[in-house]
Amino acid sequence: MITCTKCGEQNSDETRFCSKCNNKLQSSRKAAPTEEARHHPLEHFQHEGVPTDSWRALMRMVEAWAYVLVLLGVGAGCAYFTTWWPMYPTVGILGLLLWFRRV
Ligand SMILES: [Zn+2]
């Protein structure tokens, strides 16, 4: 089955055009980029809602600060209760998160 990108109608694999709105159907097997996407790849990405580089950099900074705040919060809690074992899993989880974010 091919789902129409325009109206969402389900069409059979043999159909080239949507039976409901006559929109040209793209087979999922042939994942070739459209003519427009090939000529303007970055523009196409921005239309899809992918954040720009500056926005991504800002989000990364906010994320880094969130990690620092979590670490400080757990550290303060540990100092208050004078137990240090919660620091180990927290540092481990944050380390893993940072590692995953860079992949
Ligand atoms: Zn359609």
Structure tokens at 56: 């991504």
Residue 88: pLDDT band by 50, 70, 90 thresholds? confident
> How do residues 1-51 score in pLDDT, each as one tens digit?
888 999 999 998 888 899 999 999 876 554 455 555 556 555 555 555 666
Ligand 1: centre distance to CA 25 (Å)? 8
Residue 24 DSSP symbol: B
Structure tokens at 37: 């996407």
Ligand 1: centre distance to CA 103 (Å)? 38
86 neighbors 74 (Cβ within 8 angstroms): yes
Ligand 1: centre distance to CA 88 (Å)? 55
Ligand 1: centre distance to CA 49 (Å)? 23
Q: Is the pTM of this model over 0.85?
A: no
Could you tell me which residues come within 8 angstroms of residue 34 by beta carbon, excluding any fewer than 6 positions away?
26
Ligand 1: centre distance to CA 36 (Å)? 20
Domain ranges of the chain: 53-102
74 neighbors 87 (Cβ within 8 angstroms): yes
